[in-house]
Structure 1
C-alpha cells in the first residue's frame, strides 16, 4: 500500500512538472523588452554559451570539453538578484524558441527549509508548510503538497536513507521530464538557488551531478547563484534571503559548484547604471519579503482556523514577520473584526475576517516596533572612534529595557526628590540650566548606605525615568589582560558617554574600583586606571556644560579615595527605613498580592525593626510560600488516600486554588527571616560617622585627634 502511494505521488509530481513547463509563446519577456538593465556582454556570453547546445548539439564532440560551451551554466549575480536571474532565463528561452522548466531548489536533494528563529514556530508549523513558505506561485506549492502528501507520513519522520531515496526520485523525475520534453523542442532547465543544494551534503551533490550528466544533448541547465553580501545578510531581508543560515566553508561550496557547472557567467555591474540596477534589486527584495510575509500569515491563519479571502491583496514590505509576531497580529485582527462585525461570518468551520482587520493588526505591530526601536536605532547610528568604544556600546542600556520606576520603590522620598532635581531635571529641561556658571550640571552623585536599602533600585529608576542613555560600568568591562588597555577602556567610557549625551555612567560598588590609592598592595595597572578615570571625569579637557553624570553606589564610602569624594559633590545616604517607611515599602511589595482583611501592614512594619527594604521583600516571599506549601501537603494527603482506597488520583491544584495571605503567614515568616544588617554593627557606625562628615545634612565637624591615638 505504501509503495503504491509513493508511486502515485511520484506520478503526480511528474505531471505537475510537465504542467509547469513554459512554452516560447507563453513567455512575455525578451532581450528587446527586458525590464532590467542588461549588460551587452552578459547577453553575448549567455547566447554564445547556449547556442552550441540548443542549435548545434550534433557537433557536441568538438566542444564538450570546453568550459565556456558546457550545457551546465552557473549564472551568478549579487544578493537580491533572484528575480532578475529568473527573468533572464525566460528571455534566453524566448530568444532560442526553447521551452523553460523552472525548478525550485527546495525540490532538490539536500535542501531543508530552516526553522523560523522563534522556537515556538518550530513546534507549530509542519515541515511541508515551512517548505512552502519559500515557494512562489501556486503551482510549486501544489507540487510540494503532491510530493509530501497532505497528512499521514510527515517527511520529518523519514530516515536519512529514505530522504535520499525521495531526493533521488525527484531528480529522476526531473531528468525524465526533461528527456521527454526535449524530443520536440530544445529545453532550458532553470534551477533556482542552486547553492542551497551544496550545503555540505555529499550524497545530494553526487545524486544531482549524476542526474544532470545524463540529460540529452539539447537540454541546457542553468543554475542560479547569488553572491552573499555580509552587510545585507545581517538585515534579514526576508524571502529567499533568510534561508542562508547554513553555510559550509566557501572553498568547498565553490569547488562543488564549479564541478557541476563548469560554465560560469557573472553579471558585470556597469557603474553608470549601477544605482538604477540596485534600485530594481531592492524592489525585487521587497517583493520577496512581501510574498514571504503573506505565506507566514497564511500558515498562522490556517493553524487557528481563521480565513481571509483577500489576503493576497496585502502588500507588506516594511515588516519582516515571524510566526510569533503574526500570532499577535492575527489576535488583534480578530478582535478588531469582532468589534465591528458582531454577526461575523463562519465558513467551512473557519472565522472569516477582512483585510482591513489584518491591516489594523499590522499597524499596531508596527507602532510597537517603532516605539521600542527608536532609542536602539539611535545608539546603532553612533559612530564609535575605536574598538574600545565599540565594545562598551553593548553596556549602554536604553530606558525601556529596565522597567523600574520610582513608584516601585517604597519610602526614600527625600532621596528620590533630590535625584529628580539633580539628574532628571537637567536631562529633561536643559534650557533651565543654561544661564550662568552656577547652574552647570552636577558631575557626580554618590548613594551610600547599608546593604539592601535600595541604592541599585534607585539607579534603575533614574535610568528609566530620566530618558537618557545609561552606561553600566563594572571592573569586567574596563579591565584587560593587556598592559595599557585598561586606561584606554576608561577613556572610552567618557568619550562614548559624551557622544550619546545626555547620559548617566553608573558604577555599582564603586569602592572596589575607586578605592584609596595609598594601599601598598595595589597593582600599578589598577592605580593607573583610577588616575585615568578621574582625569577624564573632571580634568583639564572636561567640558563644563557636558551632560554626563557619574552615579555611584557603595556600602563602604569610607574606603573611597579623597579625590573621588571631591568629584561626588552630592552624597546621599540611603539609610534603614523607619516604621513609617517600612509600611510604605510593604505596600509597594504587596501591591499585586491577595491579602486577607486581617493583614495589618502597620503591625508588620512595627515588628520588623532594623529590616532593610531587601529584608522586607524576603519576608513577604517567605510568607507567600506558606499557602503553596499547604497546597502541596494537601495534594500529598489526597493522593495517598486515593491510592489506599484504589480510587483515581485527583487532579493537581492550580494557582487559583492558592488562598490569600493572612496575618499568621507574616508572623511565621518573621520567625524565619531576620534582619541582615545590625544597627549596632561596626560598619553601620562607620556609615553614620562618614555621613556626619561628608553626607548631606551632616554636621561637618571633624573630631580633633589627641596626641595619643
Structure 2
C-alpha cells in the first residue's frame, strides 16, 4: 500500500496510539473486511504499540482505523502505480464487451523525462487485442516536422495498438532552451512507446487557417455550453427541483461558476413563482420551465454587463505617465461608494443646492450648453463644525450623479523627490478629465491649500499649491470638462484667497436644530428594533448642540445597553449553574436582545455629550466667515480681525 501518514489513530485516549504525522507502512489490510482496523508498522515506537503478530519490531505496530490514514506525499510513485493498475483492470473488463479506445491527453506531462514513469507505462501498455491507445503531444518549439504522407497504419506493441498525435503548434514565446535536453529525452521515450505518429500542422493557407481557428473556437463554445447546461441541471437536481425543455439553453460565452448557477436558479425560481398562477409539479417537485431559466440567465448577464462596463471604463483608460497610473488605482466608481442622499438626515437646503449645482450639470449637460453663464460650477466648498456630514454629502454627490470619485490627500500627491509633487497634482486633473464625469474631493482642504504667506511653509509646498490652482482654473483648463472640485473643511478662514476665489459656491453645513435632529435620528434608527415608547421628538429636544456624528454616537451607546443586559444575565446563570453543579446554560442569541427603548436613550444622553460647543471661538469664527464669504455673504462687509 506504500507509505502512509497517521493523523492520530487513537481518539479515545491521549496516551495510546501514534500521534499526528507519524509515518508508517500498511502490513495487514484485511481484504475481506473482517475488521475496520488496519495493521500499520510505524517508523517510531508507539505508546502501547505491538508487533502485529511478529510482523514488525516491538512497539512499532498498531491497528489503526482506515479512515484516519492518508497517503504520504512522498509516495507519488506508488500512486502512479495504483493508477496504472486501476486503468489496466478497467480496460481488461471493458475490452471483453467490445473494442475500446484509450486517449491520454498531453502524454509528455506524464513522462517529463522520468525513466521510472517510462518503464511503468511501457510495462502497462500491453493491453488485450481490440484496444487502441492514443496519446496527444503538443510541440513547443518552432521546428515543424513534416507530416507523413499517405494513410496511417497501426502496428502492434505486444498485443496492443498505439499511435501518437503530435500537435505542432508554434511557440510564440520562443524556445525553452533550458529544457532542450529533457524534451529530447522525453521525445525518444514517446517514440518508443508510440511508434505510429501523426503530425497535425497549422494550415499554410491563410483562409484555411482562419477557418481552422474559427472551428476551434466553435468547439470550445460547444464544450462550454454543454458544461454549463450540465451544471444547471445538476444544481436543480441537488436542490430538489425539476426542469423541462432545457435542451435549447445555450451559454457559450463563459464557464459558469457555482455562484453564477445559484443566481440563475434563484432568479428563475422568483420569476416562476411570480408569473405562474398554477405551480406545475412532478413527483411533489416544482418544475422550472425553459422560460424561467432563460429569464434567470438574462438577469445574470445584465448584472455582469453592468459590472463589466463599469470596470472597463476605468480599466481601459490610457494613462500617460506613472503618476496617472498610480492615481487611477485609487479612483472609486460611484457604485462602490454606497452613500445616497437618503442616508443623510436633514440638510435639505444643502442637498437641494448640491443637486442643482453638481448633479444636474453632470446628468443633463445639454441644458447647460447654451450661453456662457450656465456653465457647470467648477468648485464647491462645504464648511462647518466637525461631524455635521460634509464628507457624507460629498460621497452622496458622487453616487447620485454617477461620477467617478477621486479622493485627494497629501499622501497621494506628495513625494520625497523634488518636483514630483507638482507632477502628481497635474496628473490629478488630467486623469479626472479622462474619466469624466468625475468629482475631485479634497477633505480638510485647509491643510493642503492654506495661506501661502505662512513663513514656516516649505517652498515645495508653495509650488504644489500654485500647480494645483493653475490646473484647476488656469490657461490649460477646458470649460467643457465635467470635472468638479469638491472641498470640505472645518477651518475655512485658513484658506488662501485664491482658493476661495476658485470655490464660487460656499455652503455652510451647520449644527442641526431640533427638527433636523429628529430627522437625523429617524435615519439612524431606521433599520433598528425600536420599542414603541421611544419619542424621537423628545430625544431631539434634549440633544441641543449635538451634531449628526454626536447623535449617532448617542444611538450606538444606547444600543449597547440591551447587549450588556444579556451578558450580565448569562454571567448570573453561569454562576448559579456552577454553584448547583448543573450543566452550563447555553449562550443567548441575537433574537434574545430586546428592542431599544426610551430609557436606553436617556441613559446614553448622560454618557455622550456634544463634541462641539455652540459658544466656542471656532464656532463664532465659522459664523462670521459665513457672513463674509458664504452663501448670501458680501465682501463689502468689514473684514474680520483675524484676517489682518
TM-score category of the 2 structures, normalised to the smaller one: 0.7 to 0.9
For normalisation by structure 2, the TM-score amounts to 0.72
**More displaced, 549-558 or 358-367?**
358-367
Q: Does structure 1 residue 277 correspond to structure 2 residue 212?
A: yes
Contact 2:324 2:424 in 1 (8 A): yes
Quote the Cα distance in structure 2 between the aligned partners of 1:534 and 1:618: 38
Counterpart of 1:345 (choices 273, 276, 282) is 282
Aligned positions of 1:268-667 closer than 5 A: 268=202, 270=204, 272-273=206-207, 274-301=209-236, 303-308=238-243, 314-337=249-272, 340=276, 342-346=279-283, 353-667=288-602
Quote the Cα distance in structure 1 between the aligned partners of 2:291 and 2:565: 51
**More displaced, 607-616 or 630-639?**
630-639
**Cα distance per residue 1:346-393 (max 9 Å; x no partner):** 37xx76544443333222222222334333333333333333333322
Displacement of 1:175 in angstroms is 7.4
Quote the Cα distance in structure 2 between the aligned partners of 1:562 and 1:394: 32
- Counterpart residue number, 1:160: 73
Contact 1:427 1:502 in 2 (8 A): yes
Contact 1:441 1:546 in 2 (8 A): no
Cα gap change, 1:180/1:636 in structure 2, threshold over 3 Å: closer, same or farther? closer
- Counterpart residue number, 2:186: 260
Quote the Cα distance in structure 2 between the aligned partners of 1:309 and 1:5: 46
For normalisation by structure 1, the TM-score amounts to 0.66
- Counterpart residue number, 2:105: 192
Displacement of 1:311 in angstroms is 5.5
Q: What SS does the corresponding residue of 2:506 show, helix, strand or coil?
A: strand
Displacement of 1:628 in angstroms is 1.5
Gaps of 5+ in 2: 1-27, 34-64, 127-131, 142-175, 192-198
Displacement of 1:398 in angstroms is 2.1
Contact 1:192 1:225 in 2 (8 A): no
**Cα distance per residue 1:320-339 (max 9 Å; x no partner):** 32222222222333444556
Q: What SS does the corresponding residue of 1:160 show, helix, strand or coil?
A: coil
Counterpart of 2:624 (choices 689, 699, 705) is 689
Counterpart of 1:679 (choices 614, 619, 631) is 614
**Cα distance per residue 1:408-447 (max 9 Å; x no partner):** 1111111111101110111112122111111111111111
**More displaced, 186-195 or 556-565?**
186-195
Q: Pairwise CA RMSD of aligned residues?
A: 3.9
Q: Which protein is richer in helix relative to its size?
A: 1
Cα gap change, 1:404/1:154 in structure 2, threshold over 3 Å: closer, same or farther? farther
Q: Across the two proteins, how many residue pairs are aligned to each other?
A: 532
Contact 2:107 2:136 in 1 (8 A): no
- Counterpart residue number, 2:50: none
Whose Rg is larger? 2
Displacement of 1:668 in angstroms is 0.7
Cα gap change, 1:226/1:618 in structure 2, threshold over 3 Å: closer, same or farther? farther
Cα gap change, 1:529/1:285 in structure 2, threshold over 3 Å: closer, same or farther? farther
Contact 1:193 1:225 in 2 (8 A): no
**More displaced, 330-339 or 580-589?**
330-339
Higher relative contact order (CA 8 A, sep 6+): 1
**Cα distance per residue 1:34-54 (max 9 Å; x no partner):** xxxxxxxxxxxxxxxxxxxxx
**Cα distance per residue 1:94-120 (max 9 Å; x no partner):** xxxxxxxxxxxxxxxxxxxxxxxxxxx
- Counterpart residue number, 2:137: 223
**More displaced, 627-636 or 336-345?**
336-345
Quote the Cα distance in structure 2 between the aligned partners of 1:691 and 1:428: 29
